[in-house]
Amino acid sequence: MALFGTDGVRGLANGPLTAELALTLAQATAVVLGQGRTAEARRAAGKRLTAVVARDPRVSGEFLSAAVSAGLAASGVDVLDAGVIPTPAAAYLIGSIDADFGVMVSASHNPAPDNGIKIFARGGRKLPDIVEQRIEAAMSRPKLQPTGADVGRIRRFADAEDRYVVHLLQSLPHRLDGIHVVLDCAHGAAAGVSPEVFRDAGAQVTVIGADPDGININDGVGSTHIDKLALEVVRLGADVGIAHDGDADRCLAVDAAGNIVDGDQIMAILAVAMKERGQLAAGTLVATVMSNLGLHRAMAEQGIHVEQTAVGDRYVLERMNEGGFSLGGEQSGHVIMSKYATTGDGLLTGLHLLARMAETGQPLSSLASVMTVYPQVLVNVTGVDRTQVGHPLVAAAVVEAETKLGATGRVLLRASGTEQLVRVMVEAADADIASQIAGRLADVVREHLALSA
C-alpha cells in the first residue's frame, strides 16, 4: 500500500504515523530533494541546504515536527522551525526565503488524534506523484550521515508569521474598512494570524474557535462545522463570516443571513472581480468535476471559461501550472490564487472575498447571486467493486439518466481512491428529481458491482 495519499502522509498519530516514520521520511526527503543542479550549485558555493518546518497546534505535532527536524538535521539540512502557522504560510515562506524544501505537520480538517506530513518542494510547490514515489523508495535505502560541522542546525524562524502577514496585506486590492467579520479559526493554525491580518486590513473582527489546546482542533468548529459560525454572524448582525479548517488552507463563508457561501460561489465572485481587473489569465477558471453545474453556467454568462480536473487540489494546481492560469479551486473551499500562493490559502481567499465586498459596496448575498446553486445529491454506495465502475449496464443507466436530465442537470459516477465504494452524484434544477435519479443509479451500482461473498 502506498505511503503517500492525496495530500501527503496521513494517519493516526503514534499509530501508523510514528516518530520513527516521521524521522525516516525526513531523512529520505533530504536524500531526494537534496539532489539536483540547484542543490549541487548551493553546495559548490559553500551554502547549506535549508528547509522550513511548521505544524498546526494538535498535540502530536510537537513530537512529529521534532522528529522531522531531527531527521533533516541528521542529514545535513539546516532547519528553520516556524512553529504553529497555516499550511499556506509555510508554502509561502519556502519560496520567500528560497529554501530547498519544507515540511508541514498537519492533518488539515481531520480530528485531533490524526496527523499528517506534507512535503513541499522548492518554491513552496506540492510534490508530483513521481517525486513522492522516489521519497518512499528512498526510505529503505542508505541515508545521508554527515558528521561534525556538516550536520544540520535547527533554528527558530523568528519572523515567520510577520512575513506572511505582510505578504497577505500587500496582495489586497482594497482595504476592508467598514466590514464586520466573524472568523472561525477551527482552534487551528489560523488562530493567531488570521484575526491579526483581518484587523490590520481594516475589518472589525469577532473571533470564535481561536483557543487551541492541542486536542480541540476542528472539534465542532471550522469549515466542516459551519453552523456555529452562521448562528454567530446572525446573532451579532455581522456582515459576513469566514471559516477556516485546521491548517487554514480552506475558506468557506456565510452571508449576513447565515447562508453558506461555498468554494464554488467564492470562486465565481473572485473570477468576476479578477476578470474586471484584467487579472484572470486566459479568462479561465480551473475547477474539479465535483464543482456545481451552476458554476459552469454562471461563468459562461460572464464570458469565463471553466477548465475541469479530477477531484483534489493537487490536480487543480497541476492544470493551473500547465496552463498558466491564475484562479482555481474546489467546492470544499480550497481556492488557489496563483499570483500570490502556490496552494490553497484560506486567509488569502477570505481577505480577497471581503475586499470585493468593500470595493463594490455590495453584501455577500448579492455578490454570491452571480451563481445559482443547483441541487446536488451525493450517494456513497458501499460494498461494491470500485474497479468495475465502467460496467456496461451501469454505463447504460448513466446514459439513460443523462438523457432524462438533458441540459438541466448532470451525472457523475466516481470510484473512491481509498475505499471499496462508488460515489454517485446527480445535479438537477429540481432537488426531488436529483434524489430520485441518484437513488436509482445507486441501486444499479449495488446490483451489478456487488462484491462476492
Residue pLDDT, tens place only, 328-339? 999 999 999 999
Please name every residue paired with 146 in a beta bridge, in sequence order, or none if there are none. Answer: none
Q: Which of 7-16, 29-38, 430-439 has the lowest mean pLDDT?
A: 29-38
Q: Which position among 108, 194, 326, 332 bears the catalytic label?
A: 108
Using pLDDT thresholds of 50, 70 and 90, give the confidence band for residue 5.
confident
Q: Whole-model pTM?
A: 0.91
Annotated binding residues for Mg(2+), written as ranges, equal: 108, 245, 247, 249
- What gap in Å lies between CA 190 and CA 179, rounded to an integer? 20
Query: Which domains are delineated in the chain?
Result: 9-158 (3.40.120.10), 163-368 (3.40.120.10), 376-449 (3.30.310.50)
Confirm if 25 and 141 have CB atoms less than 8 A apart.
Answer: no
Per-residue pLDDT, 365: 98
Per-residue pLDDT, 200: 98
Annotated binding residues, written as ranges, equal: 108, 245, 247, 249
Per-residue pLDDT, 268: 98
Q: Is the pLDDT of residue 321 over 80?
A: yes
Give the strand order in the sheet containing 409-415: 376-382, 421-428, 409-415
Q: In the predicted model, what is the mean pLDDT of residues 237-254?
A: 97
Crossing angle for the helix pair 293-301 and 263-276, nearest 10 degrees? Answer: 10
Per-residue pLDDT, 42: 73
Cite the DSSP H helix spans in 324-407. Answer: 346-360, 364-368, 392-405
- What gap in Å lies between CA 207 and CA 202, rounded to an integer? 15
Kindly list the distances between the CA atom of residue 65 and the CA atoms of 19, 29, 352, in Å, as whole numbers in the listed order.
Answer: 9, 14, 31
21-78: pLDDT as tens digits: 999 999 999 999 988 766 677 776 778 999 999 999 999 999 999 999 999 999 999 9
- What gap in Å lies between CA 30 and CA 99, rounded to an integer? 13
Q: Is the pLDDT of residue 413 over 70?
A: yes
Q: Mean pLDDT for the chain?
A: 94
Return the number of other C-beta atoms located less than 10 Å from residue 301's C-beta.
10
Q: Rounded to 5 degrees, what are φ and ψ at 131?
A: -70, -40
Q: Is 365 a catalytic residue?
A: no
Q: Is the pLDDT of residue 453 over 80?
A: no
Three-class SS of residue 421? strand
Write the burial class of residue 293 (CB in 10 Å: 0-12 exposed, 13-18 middle, 19+ buried): buried
149-162: pLDDT as tens digits: 999 999 999 999 99
Q: Is the pLDDT of residue 450 over 80?
A: yes
Per-residue pLDDT, 385: 86
70-119: pLDDT as tens digits: 999 999 999 999 999 999 999 999 999 999 999 999 999 999 999 999 99
